Amino acid sequence: MKSYTIQKNKQTGFSLVELVVSLAILALVGTAVGLFERDLFSFDFIAQDNMNTQLDGRHIIKIMVGALREAEPSANGAYPIALASSSVLTFYSDPNNDGNPDQVRYFVSGTSLMQGIISPTGSPLGYTGAEKVSTVVSGLTNTASSTAPLFQYYDENYAGTSSPLTQPVNPQSIRLIKITFVINKDPNKIKQATTVTSQVEVRNLKANL
């Protein structure tokens, strides 16, 4: 008598457990990819924002440096620099080249650096008119800093590594001014603040003139 062996067909599909495990793995991979893309986009946004902030800060400092470099006696003969503290700087300059130096004042209001300008009027010329005030930098975090003050001043002995003059500073001792911005326009977001700095030698205050 012939014997027959019956072979069962092998199952080729996924079991329910295998399907659940596969879906879970796919979900984890998708979540990881999504988080990576989010972090990459966030990093790119922060980097771009910091770059824009740095460019804006450099542009503003360039304007300030240009005006300070050309500081000169006022229209009524006052010394080129009227006040020099770590957060306030008042001087006379003629950036619009009209022949009459304006009184330019940079000062702090909250976390912003403000600019106030008074043009000379009257006869004899004086600085008694209304001050035109505008915001030049916002989001400053070093407005009350002792380690990175907005303004630092150096005398004729400055050689690159000298310490700044201590406050109160005698304006007539100043030969070079250092400006530092530490900017974070949105302190609620975790990101590194942007630091922009420059220095300027006031031409009309050179010791050899």
Alpha-carbon separation of residue 135 from 54, 131, 139 (angstroms): 17, 13, 11
Q: What is the pLDDT of residue 149?
A: 94
pLDDT bucket at 48, cuts 50 / 70 / 90: low
Q: What is the pLDDT of residue 27?
A: 75
Name the residue with higher pLDDT: 186 or 119. 119
Strands (E), the chain: 81-84, 88-93, 102-109, 112-118, 132-137, 151-154, 176-183, 194-201
**pLDDT tens-digit map of 188-202:** 665 668 899 999 999
**pLDDT tens-digit map of 72-127:** 999 999 999 999 999 999 999 998 888 899 999 999 999 999 999 999 999 999 99
Which bin fits 134, alpha (ψ -120 to 50), beta or left (φ > 0)?
beta
**Could you tell me the pTM of the whole model?**
0.74
Domain locations along the chain = 41-205
Q: Is the pLDDT of residue 186 over 80?
A: no
Name the residue with higher pLDDT: 157 or 35. 157
| DSSP one-letter code for 115 | E
Cross-sheet strand order for the sheet of 151-154: 151-154, 176-183, 194-201
